[in-house]
Amino acid sequence: MRQSIQWLTDKYLLHLERMVEAEQAAAATLRQRKSLLTRLCQHKTDDGDEYGEMSLNAPSAAFVKVRDARAATPAEADNMIKAARSMYHWACDAGHAEVNPLVGIKKIHRSKGGATPWTSEDLCKFKKTHPIGTMAHLALTLHMFTGARSNDAIWLGRKQEFESHGTRWLGWQPKKRGAAFVEIPMAAPLRESINAVARIGDAYILSKHGNPFKNADSYRNWFRKRCDEADLQGRSSHGVRKALAELLAEEGCSEHQIMAVLSHTQPSTSAIYTKGADRRAMAAEAMRSIRGFSW
């Protein structure tokens, strides 16, 4: 139906598809928003009709009802409102809507601090279940000694290696928008773990079929199952990244050194940027500080 929420959703998703093709938007963004907006359109009104059939000029209160109906999953509720807000923002620019009814709708999710950082006991437990030579061990080691996010870990490989002053390095541009280019020396445990796996491909981490993971979600699910096998419920790959940040801080690394390793562009207390050769030097210094870390 023209001028309905479903009609607007179809147009917006087509716009996003074109943006992805032009490399102006991430495929993961399209996938997530398509899922969220589809559920929004399928939500039932008090009369049993689907929200997709409603006029796109629905009031803010209609969307608040959708949010509140998902109070049991507040993060999903907030993400749904965020996706709809982005859709209406585009709709206003494109002339399909005059106002954005999602503006001003508050979040209901209260953060509990995100992913749980791994402890040294967690790391030992995982490695005992998944010893060197296994793909799971390599995945853990890659996260721990590069701080790579999941959407980068799935494609990092030998093509990102380079030699500088007698040291083997990894260099890559993270997929996350706004992240700084990373150059980091390859720690000995990482090199050993890479050399120990039997399967070799375009990426370091490969699925059981010998291919790189198709997307970060499938990889996260795979990694979570490996955590469950080690009786580490509630742990995730992102928690390893947080553990690295905490370890670097405990070893006395400066905020800018940690930024250089984790591809951050701003420290929490200032707007000072650190770029180029300085970042490489600070990353090297930061990684030297944990050379004695037992692995």
**The amino acid at 87:** M
Domain match, 132 and 212 both = yes
Domain match, 61 and 196 both = no
Model confidence at 271, pLDDT cuts 50, 70, 90, reads: very low
Domain match, 168 and 254 both = yes
Which candidate, 71, 61, 82, places its Cα nearest to that of 110? 71
Burial of 178 (0-12, 13-18, 19+ CB in 10 A): exposed
**Residue with token string 């120990």:** 196
Q: What is the CATH number of the domain that holds 124?
A: 1.10.443.10
Q: Domain for residue 107, yes or no?
A: no
Q: Is 293 a residue whose pLDDT tops 70? A: no
The domain total for the chain is 2
3-state secondary structure (DSSP) of residue 49: coil
Beta strand 161-164 with 182-185: parallel, antiparallel or unpaired?
A: unpaired
Q: Is 182 a residue whose pLDDT tops 50? A: yes
DSSP 159-200: GGEEEETTEEEEEE--SSTTPPPEEEE--HHHHHHHHH-S--
* pTM (global) more than 0.85: no
High-pLDDT (> 90) share of the chain, %: 58
- The answer to whether 61 touches 112, Cβ cutoff 8 Å, is no
Q: Is 110 a residue whose pLDDT tops 60? A: yes
Between CA 204 and CA 195 the distance in angstroms is: 10
Domain match, 159 and 229 both = yes
Q: Is 197 a residue whose pLDDT tops 60? A: yes
In this predicted structure, what is the pLDDT of residue 272? 28
Q: 139: domain range?
A: 120-288
Q: Domain for residue 32, yes or no?
A: yes
**The amino acid at 83:** A
Domain match, 166 and 262 both = yes
